Amino acid sequence: MAKEKSFYTCSECGGTNPRWLGKCPHCGAWNTLVETASEGAAAPGKNRFGDSFASLAGTAEVTMLSQIEAVDVARTPTGIDELDRVLGGGMVEGGVVLIGGDPGIGKSTLLLQALDGLQRTGMPTLYVTGEESGAQVALRSRRLGLDHSEVRVMAEIQLQKIIGTLEVEKPAVAVIDSIQTLYSDQLTSAPGSVAQVRECAAHLTRVAKASGVCIVLVGHVTKEGALAGPRVLEHMVDTVLYFEGDTHSSFRLVRAIKNRFGAVNEIGVFAMTEKGLKGVSNPSAIFLSQHSEPVPGSCVMVTLEGTRPMLVEVQALVDSGGPSPRRLSVGIERDRLAMLLAVLHRHAGVACMDQDVFVNAVGGVRISEPAADLAVMLSITSSLRGKPLPKGFIAFGEVGLAGEVRPAPRGQERLREAAKLGFSVAVVPKANAPKKGSREIEGLTIHPVERIEQAMDVVRGLG
C-alpha cells in the first residue's frame, strides 16, 4: 500500500482515520476530522513506538532547573517605539510573533516599516508576501517614504520553498504575510483551511526555534473575530498581537494578548497617515470626541491599558424600542451591558426594559476592563433622562451584581491623568479616592462612592 501523506484526526476525541468523513467513526461527532500531516507517524491504528519507547525513540537529556543558566533574551528594537513597547522591547531571536487584525487595518504597513527599521540597523530581513506582488510591496514602500530600502522581498506561498529560502538567505527577521495564504504540499486541503494554517505555522515555528530566525506571522481575523484557523495558532507562538481600531478613524491600537517575552495587555497606539503608521507617544486624550458643551449620553472614563492611562469617551443612546428592544454595544462586551442594565434596574431603579440601548466606546477602542462599568451606567442614565453630565466630568469603577462599586487598579494614576487633562469632577470608587488628610489631586473634586445608587445621587446633586 502506498504511504499516505496525511490522515485525519478528530478534534474532539483525537481518533484518526485515513479518509475524511463527516462523522467521526470513534466518537460520533460531526465535522470534527481535520487533515494532519503524517510526519514520522505510524499508520493510523498502529503503535508509533512499538513496545519500548526508550529503545526505539531514544531518550532526551534531563537537567535540574537550578543548573540551567537563565540568560535574558536579547531583543532588537525595531525603531518603532510603540511596536517595541508591545513586543516587550523588540524582536527576540527565535521568537515567533503572530499579528492579527481585520483586513486593511495596517498589518502589512506596520511590518514593512518595522522591517525597514531593522534592516537599517544592519539586520538582514526578509518579507514574504503571499497576497501582493513584489511590485505592489515596492509601491507601498515608496508611499511610506522608504526609499533605498534594502528589505528583501519574496512573493511565494509554498511552505517548503519558503523554508528552503530561509535556510539559504538566513534573515534575522522574516515576515510571512499572511499565514492564510501559505500551503504545505504535505496536505491536500486548500490554503487558509484550519489544517493548512496549523501545519504551516507549526513548521515555521520549528524552523524559528532551530535556526534562531525571528518569524512574524500575519493572520487575518474573520468576521466573527476569530483568527481563521480558530485561534489554533495562539498556543504555538510566543507573542500574539492584535490590531484594533475603527478603519474609519485614523487611530489604531496594537494590543499584546500573549507575550512570553514581555507584559500582556500593553498597547501601542498609532495613527494612520499618508506616510504609513506613526506612533502616538501621548495617547491620553485621542479617544474623546469634541463637544463644545456637555451632551446627554456621554461620559468620559479613564482606562488603564498596560502601563498608560487613557481617557475614553463612552456614549449611550437610549430610545424607545419595539416589543423586543435591542441592546447593542461597540467596544464594550454585550453580555456585560446586559448585566449592567439589570443592576441599574434592580439597585438604582433605572428601567430600560422597553428601550433600545446602544453603547459605543468612541474611536474604535475596545475596553476590556470592568472599570468601565460606572461610565457605561452613567451614560445610559444620562441619555435616558436627556440630561448631560456636568462639564469636565469623569467616572470609573467596576459595578458588581449587588450594586456595589468596586475599586479599579491604580486609581490614583487614573485620577492624576484626568486632572492633568483639565477634568474637574470625578465619581470614583471609595477605595480609589485619596485618603482623608493625604494630598488632594489639584483641580479635581473627587466624589467617592460605594454603591451605584449613591453614584446616581451624587450625579443628580451635581446637575
From 59-67, 102-110, 200-208, 421-429, span contacting ligand TYD (CB under 6 A)? 102-110
Is the sign of the CA dihedral 390, 391, 392, 397 positive or negative? positive
State which residue, 14 or 103, has the beta carbon closest to ligand TYD: 103
Q: 101 touches which of Mg ion, ligand TYD, none (CB within 5 to 8 A by kind)?
A: ligand TYD
Question: What residues numbered 287-316 form the site for ligand TYD, per CB under 6 A?
Answer: none
Provide, rounded to whole angstroms, the least separation between the CB of residue 314 and ligand TYD. 27
Left if phi > 0, otherwise alpha if psi is -120 to 50, otherwise beta: which for 45? left
Q: 262 touches which of ligand TYD, Mg ion, none (CB within 5 to 8 A by kind)?
A: none
Question: What residues numbered 252-291 form the site for ligand TYD, per CB under 6 A?
Answer: 272, 274-276
Q: 309 touches which of ligand TYD, Mg ion, none (CB within 5 to 8 A by kind)?
A: none
Provide, rounded to whole angstroms, the least separation between the CB of residue 279 and ligand TYD. 14
In 226-363, which ranges are continuous DSSP H helix? 334-348
Grouping H, G, I as helix, E, B as strand and the rest as coil, residue 18 is: coil
108 binds Mg ion (CB under 5 A): yes
Residue 437 phi, psi dihedral angles, 5° rounding:
90, -20
State which residue, 153 or 384, has the beta carbon closest to Mg ion: 153
Provide, rounded to whole angstroms, the least separation between the CB of residue 370 and ligand TYD. 30
- Cα angle 150, 155, 157 (rounded to 5 degrees) comes to 140
Residue type, 74: A
State which residue, 108 or 186, has the beta carbon closest to Mg ion: 108
Determine which residue in the list 143, 291, 334, 460 makes contact with ligand TYD, applying CB under 6 A: 143
CA distance 44 to 60: 26
142 binds ligand TYD (CB under 6 A): no
CA distance 242 to 265: 10
Contact in structure between 294 and 390 (CB atoms under 8 Å):
yes
And the C-alpha cell for 380?
445610559
From 26-34, 136-144, 228-236, 363-371, span contacting ligand TYD (CB under 6 A)? 136-144
From 77-85, 104-112, 195-203, 336-344, span contacting ligand TYD (CB under 6 A)? 104-112
CA 351 to chain centre: 34
Grouping H, G, I as helix, E, B as strand and the rest as coil, residue 175 is: strand
From 49-57, 138-146, 326-334, 451-459, span contacting ligand TYD (CB under 6 A)? 138-146
Q: Please name the helix (run of DSSP H) or strand (run of DSSP E) that holds residue 377, with its range, or none.
A: helix 373-385
CA distance 319 to 338: 16
- Residue 41 has a CB neighbour count (10 Å cut-off) of 15
Q: With contacts defined by CB under 6 A, how many residues of the chain interact with ligand TYD? A: 15
140 binds ligand TYD (CB under 6 A): yes
315 binds Mg ion (CB under 5 A): no
Position with the least CB separation from Mg ion: 108
Provide, rounded to whole angstroms, the least separation between the CB of residue 244 and Mg ion. 16
CA distance 403 to 101: 36
Residues 6 or more apart whose CB falls under 8 angstroms from that of 96 comprise: 204, 205, 208, 214, 215, 216, 217, 236, 237, 238, 239
Q: 109 touches which of ligand TYD, Mg ion, none (CB within 5 to 8 A by kind)?
A: ligand TYD
364 binds ligand TYD (CB under 6 A): no
Binding site for ligand TYD (CB under 6 A): 101, 103-109, 140, 143-144, 272, 274-276
Binding site for Mg ion (CB under 5 A): 108
